[in-house]
């Protein structure tokens, strides 16, 4: 669990009354740390701002026997790769990029906090059997092409919806040419195509990585088990629901964005695409690292480019930030002289934390960005929805490999192609990058492989035996943390609701429950709910965060929700495709439920968000005929006709729920909608939430 989502997961776990977790668990303090000036000052300031939350998480960890990885230790997925992931492991993580662990052959799935509570309490965790997309890799990467390009290319092919309901499994001869960390990068960004998870078969590079991270015996065992059983590789003659082939020999670097990770442009076409779309022709910053791309391999390749530029007398033209994924990476690249190369060039090394990747980026002192000015940044991160990085909706984030980001930093121009173009230095001489070196897959064994560094305060206690008498303090006056009051159970009557909002177009979890400044309220449901759907576009007015009440008064969306909640008017939201795409953010389900939402009716859902809604007692339905979306205006009344029947059959009623719709002008009609409620999920709905249900089962 990362620190932002762990708060709500643990607040929910606490309501179950258990003395310890049933499976091993860990907490990682990474999302709440702001990037601004550099690691030391930023970390100190962020610890001061968030001490109440960190103390809460640490006390929960102690009480329930959970590993606590403090602020500065690193980003959850990198720490998992370095310490926990292993071929054949099955793991849930409260973050959508949990599949990063697939780089070591794990099946690792991103979930919401309530799903994590399933694992923590030993409750069976359920998933609709996914399809399997096979990606056949052949050839070998060379030159500028990097593992990141496998997934940026694939995102363009599959789009943000293409992996929904599927596991992506890589196979083919190209797999054996990749480093474990390169495979982790590819699995990490499988989240961007909506995949349930991504995974690779066992490879020798996994064994090498396990050895370098001081887990040699696990690598040996994996190899042995695989030889005996073949469980860690594709079955002979395996059939996939879909196969896509990628030849690594000819793969071109790609740049994806802005504002969506599937807008993929090969580098050779990027300059013309920038001009055609009138995107800014100057870049404003370059950022590398994060959970996606801060491996030793990445850093050595980037260092080879920085050294070339340095030799030619070039300096970065725009701010250059580097986020190490963990203290282990930071300490190792410092020991091996890479940090010195970066710092000499003028790069800023940020704390080992999410920082700019999740809106925790303070650019207030940068000139030219006043009033949300349009600007372009290049990052080696994984996600680029509007406002994601610096809170500015006009910051265009172009996702690419760290090598390509670095080249843009020295050019400063968005129309630059490092494979063909030159940069003119201050001395008037032209400089052309050679492709990055092949890099070092791992730190040398002679140097002792990876070092953990000397900051023992970043690491968890050796002994994680639960200490039940530990007091978990939550102040009643805190604006950061609030104990939960269970949601009321279903009253066993057909629902009757009003449509509070009809959402137009893309509506990600960032639109439903914005991050950035709101992250600090993750443990306080009432306060964070003031952000509910503030990023959504109202289909009828075309405006963002705009709603209209029965009396015609105009309000923000959360204001109207609070008003209706106070007046006991339950409500529904109507939306279009892939509603809730993007992340496992359970607040995107908790907040609507807290504010009186009972039904979300869409053309389609993103898987994790749909599950999260069910866990919080909200009914997710999809239009049997998507054209019905156009027939229902806001303020309509919706009544379920056969919900009780569906619930009484444990969801096994053929998969439909009928709705009677009465429009504000009095016209009335019925429509058919589809549900995916399983037997357990029906129990969650009836109990008011999954936690209520688990608590009652545990008590019994």
Interface residues toward ligand F3S, by CB under 6 A: 30-31, 75-77, 95, 97, 290-291, 354, 357-358, 381-382
Cβ contacts of 115 within 8 Å, gap of 6 or more? 92, 94, 125, 584, 611, 612, 615
Catalytic residue among 585, 587, 609, 675: 585
DSSP H or E run through 194: none
The nearer residue to ligand F3S, 226 or 513, going by C-beta atoms, is 513
Question: Quick check: 153 and 117 in contact, CB under 8 A?
Answer: no
Catalytic residue among 387, 411, 583, 591: 583
Under the phi-then-psi rule, with left for phi > 0, alpha for psi from -120 to 50, and beta for the rest, what region is 615? alpha
Interhelix angle 327-335/296-311, rounded to 10 degrees, is: 40
The nearer residue to ligand F3S, 63 or 585, going by C-beta atoms, is 585
Catalytic residue among 3, 26, 30, 480: 30
DSSP H or E run through 366: none
How many residues appear in the chain?
700
**Cβ neighbours, 10 Å, residue 665:** 8
| Residues 406, 403: Cα–Cα separation, whole Å | 5
| Residues 210, 47: Cα–Cα separation, whole Å | 32
The nearer residue to ligand F3S, 333 or 500, going by C-beta atoms, is 333
Under the phi-then-psi rule, with left for phi > 0, alpha for psi from -120 to 50, and beta for the rest, what region is 683? alpha
The nearer residue to ligand F3S, 134 or 324, going by C-beta atoms, is 324
Q: Which of 439, 26, 447, 441 is nearest to 207 (CA)?
A: 441
DSSP H helices in 385-528? 402-411, 509-512, 525-528
The nearer residue to ligand F3S, 511 or 593, going by C-beta atoms, is 511
Question: Quick check: 143 and 433 in contact, CB under 8 A?
Answer: no
**Cβ neighbours, 10 Å, residue 428:** 6
At residue 637, the 3 state secondary structure works out as strand
The nearer residue to ligand F3S, 78 or 673, going by C-beta atoms, is 78
Q: Which of 459, 510, 516, 206 is nearest to 327 (CA)?
A: 459
Question: Quick check: 400 and 152 in contact, CB under 8 A?
Answer: yes
Active site residue 30: yes
Catalytic residue among 5, 28, 31, 297: 31
At residue 264, the 3 state secondary structure works out as strand
The nearer residue to ligand F3S, 288 or 291, going by C-beta atoms, is 291
| Residues 190, 202: Cα–Cα separation, whole Å | 18
The nearer residue to ligand F3S, 79 or 671, going by C-beta atoms, is 79
Strands 348-349 and 375-379: unpaired
What DSSP line would sit under 418-442, residue for residue? Answer: TTT--EE-TTS-EE-PPPPP---SS
| Residues 646, 295: Cα–Cα separation, whole Å | 50
| Residues 185, 150: Cα–Cα separation, whole Å | 9
Active site residue 335: no
Active site residue 95: yes
Phi and psi torsions of 195, nearest 5°: -70, 145
**Cβ neighbours, 10 Å, residue 333:** 24
The nearer residue to ligand F3S, 30 or 577, going by C-beta atoms, is 30
Question: Quick check: 624 and 631 in contact, CB under 8 A?
Answer: no
The nearer residue to ligand F3S, 97 or 593, going by C-beta atoms, is 97
What DSSP line would sit under 274-288, residue for residue? Answer: HHHHT--SBEEEEEE
Least separation in angstroms between CB 100 and ligand F3S: 8
Active site residue 383: yes
**Cβ neighbours, 10 Å, residue 239:** 8
Least separation in angstroms between CB 586 and ligand F3S: 15
**Cβ neighbours, 10 Å, residue 340:** 12
Tokens of 469: 């008498």
Active site residue 215: no
Q: Which of 100, 117, 319 is nearest to 192 (CA)?
A: 100
Least separation in angstroms between CB 381 and ligand F3S: 6
| Residues 413, 503: Cα–Cα separation, whole Å | 37
The nearer residue to ligand F3S, 53 or 175, going by C-beta atoms, is 53
Catalytic residue among 383, 388, 480, 511: 383
Least separation in angstroms between CB 125 and ligand F3S: 21
At residue 301, the 3 state secondary structure works out as helix
The nearer residue to ligand F3S, 75 or 104, going by C-beta atoms, is 75
Active site residue 524: no
Strands 423-424 and 395-399: unpaired
DSSP H helices in 130-248? 147-158, 180-188, 204-212, 216-229
Q: Which of 416, 318, 406 is nearest to 367 (CA)?
A: 318
Phi and psi torsions of 169, nearest 5°: -120, 125
The nearer residue to ligand F3S, 118 or 510, going by C-beta atoms, is 510
Least separation in angstroms between CB 610 and ligand F3S: 21
Least separation in angstroms between CB 479 and ligand F3S: 23
Least separation in angstroms between CB 404 and ligand F3S: 19
Catalytic residue among 3, 95, 336, 510: 95
End-to-end CA distance of the chain: 28
**Cβ neighbours, 10 Å, residue 360:** 29
Active site residues: 30-31, 95, 383, 583, 585
């Amino acid at each position: 669990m990362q620190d932002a989502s762990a708060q709500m997961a643990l607040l929910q776990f606490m309501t179950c009354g258990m003395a310890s977790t049933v499976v091993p668990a860990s907490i990682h303090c990474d999302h709440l740390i702001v990037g601004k000036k550099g690691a030391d000052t930023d970390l100190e300031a962020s610890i001061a701002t968030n001490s109440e939350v960190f103390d809460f998480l640490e006390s929960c960890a102690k009480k329930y026997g959970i590993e606590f990885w403090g602020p500065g230790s690193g980003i959850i997925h990198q720490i998992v790769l370095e310490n926990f992931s292993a071929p054949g492991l099955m793991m849930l993580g409260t973050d959508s990029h949990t599949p990063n662990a697939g780089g070591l052959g794990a099946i690792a799935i991103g979930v919401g906090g309530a799903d994590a509570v399933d694992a923590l309490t030993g409750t069976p965790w359920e998933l609709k059997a996914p399809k399997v997309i096979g990606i056949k890799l052949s050839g070998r990467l060379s030159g500028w092409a990097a593992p990141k390009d496998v997934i940026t290319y694939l995102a363009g092919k599959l789009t943000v919806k293409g992996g929904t309901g599927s596991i992506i499994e890589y196979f083919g001869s190209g797999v054996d040419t990749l480093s474990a960390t390169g495979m982790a990068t590819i699995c990490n960004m499988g989240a961007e195509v909506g995949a349930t998870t991504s995974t690779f078969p066992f490879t020798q590079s996994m064994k090498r990585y396990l050895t370098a991270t001081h887990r040699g015996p696990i690598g040996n065992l994996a190899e042995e088990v695989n030889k005996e059983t073949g469980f860690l590789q594709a079955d002979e003659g395996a059939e996939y629901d879909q196969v896509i082939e990628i030849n690594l020999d000819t793969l071109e670097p790609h740049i994806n964005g802005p504002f969506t990770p599937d807008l993929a442009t090969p580098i050779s076409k990027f300059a013309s695409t920038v001009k055609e779309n009138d995107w800014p022709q100057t870049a404003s910053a370059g950022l590398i690292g994060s959970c996606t791309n801060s491996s030793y391999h990445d850093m050595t390749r980037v260092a080879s480019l920085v050294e070339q530029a340095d030799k030619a007398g070039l300096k970065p033209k725009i701010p250059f930030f580097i986020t190490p994924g963990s203290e282990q990476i930071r300490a190792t690249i410092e020991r091996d002289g890479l940090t010195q190369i970066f710092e000499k060039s003028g790069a800023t090394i940020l704390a080992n934390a999410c920082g700019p990747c999740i809106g925790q980026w303070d650019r207030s002192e940068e000139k030219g960005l006043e009033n949300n000015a349009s600007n372009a940044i290049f990052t080696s991160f994984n996600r680029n929805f509007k406002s994601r990085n610096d809170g500015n909706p006009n910051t265009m984030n172009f996702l690419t490999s760290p090598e390509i980001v670095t080249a843009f930093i020295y050019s400063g121009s968005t129309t630059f192609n490092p494979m063909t173009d030159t940069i003119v230095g201050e001395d008037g001489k032209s400089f052309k990058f050679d492709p990055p070196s092949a890099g070092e897959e791992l730190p040398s064994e002679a140097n002792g492989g990876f070092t953990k560094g000397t900051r023992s305060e970043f690491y968890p206690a050796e002994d994680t035996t639960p200490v039940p008498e530990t007091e978990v303090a939550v102040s009643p006056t805190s604006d950061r943390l609030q104990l939960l009051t269970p949601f009321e159970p279903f009253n066993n009557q057909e629902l009757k609701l009003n449509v509070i909002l009809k959402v137009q177009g893309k509506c990600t979890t960032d639109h439903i429950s914005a991050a950035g400044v709101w992250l600090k309220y993750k443990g306080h449901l009432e306060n964070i709910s003031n952000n509910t759907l503030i990023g959504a576009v109202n289909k009828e007015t075309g405006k963002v965060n705009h709603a209209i009440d029965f009396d015609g008064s105009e309000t923000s969306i959360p204001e109207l929700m609070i008003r209706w909640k106070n007046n006991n008017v339950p409500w529904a939201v109507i939306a279009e495709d892939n509603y809730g795409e993007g992340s496992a953010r359970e607040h995107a389900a908790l907040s609507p439920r807290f504010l009186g939402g009972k039904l979300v009716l869409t053309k389609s859902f993103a898987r994790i968000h749909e599950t999260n809604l069910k866990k919080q007692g909200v009914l997710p339905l999809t239009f049997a005929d998507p054209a019905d979306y156009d027939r229902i205006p806001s303020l309509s009344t919706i009544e379920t006709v056969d919900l009780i029947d569906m619930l009484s059959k444990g969801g096994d009623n053929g998969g439909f729920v009928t709705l009677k719709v009465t429009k504000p002008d009095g016209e009335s009609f019925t429509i058919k909608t589809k549900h995916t409620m399983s037997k357990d999920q029906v129990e969650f709905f009836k109990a008011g939430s999954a936690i209520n249900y688990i608590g009652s089962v545990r008590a019994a």
